[in-house]
């Protein structure tokens, strides 16, 4: 009788602890990436201007966009966007090309999971970006990110 109870208890846990969710996570094909960064002021003295960062989030062939529209400040080459939402370091532009380091801030939150509830919890790595300038009359500079290389450090420089 004791063996039978133990068998029932073990069977119950094995049936309720299947890895169906793990298989779903493994099969879920998603991508979260920075699409564009637009500086919305052509002030040469950057103290507190506005920026729009657009993220492209794709899940199994469907893409949705998430925008962050905030003020930013620059100090010693580090652009801080919003209240610890995003950091951009060493933004260097030459003609229609730019390079910079991009860091996801602690207050950005799981924006991609808000767009697609099927996207599992995950992290975003900081990256070095190459971007091309996109012509636009309303923007001081709109940059389309075309190449990303993961950085080894995820914390922005101080």
- Identify whether 133 is part of a domain: yes
Query: Does residue 49 carry a pLDDT above 80?
Result: yes
Q: pLDDT above 70 covers what percent of the chain? A: 73
DSSP character string of 88-136: EEEEEEETTEEEEEEEE-TTS--HHHHH-TTSPP-----EEEEEEEE--
Number of structural domains in the chain = 1
- The pLDDT tens digits of the residues spanning 98-131 come to 999 999 999 999 999 999 999 999 899 999 999 9
* Token pair of 148 as six digits: 């990303």
User: Does a structural domain hold residue 146?
Assistant: yes
Q: How far apart are CA 124 and CA 122, in angstroms?
A: 7
Residue 77 domain flag: yes
DSSP character at residue 157: P
pLDDT band (50, 70, 90) for residue 4: very low
Taking the model in full, what pTM does it have?
0.76
Domain that holds residue 84: 30-150
């Amino acid at each position: 009788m004791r063996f039978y109870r133990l068998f029932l208890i073990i069977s119950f846990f094995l049936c309720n602890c299947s890895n169906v969710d793990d298989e779903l996570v493994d099969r879920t094909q998603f991508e979260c990436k920075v699409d564009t960064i637009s500086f919305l002021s052509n002030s040469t003295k950057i103290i507190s201007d506005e920026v729009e960062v657009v993220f492209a989030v794709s899940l199994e062939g469907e893409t949705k966009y998430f925008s962050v529209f905030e003020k930013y400040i620059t100090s010693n080459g580090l652009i801080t966007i919003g209240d610890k939402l995003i950091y951009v370091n060493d933004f260097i532009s030459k003609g229609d090309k730019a390079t910079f380091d991009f860091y996801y801030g602690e207050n950005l939150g799981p924006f991609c999971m808000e767009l697609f509830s099927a996207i599992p919890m995950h992290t975003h790595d900081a990256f070095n970006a190459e971007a091309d300038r996109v012509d636009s009359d309303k923007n001081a500079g709109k940059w389309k990110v075309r190449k990303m290389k993961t950085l080894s450090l995820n914390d922005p420089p101080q």
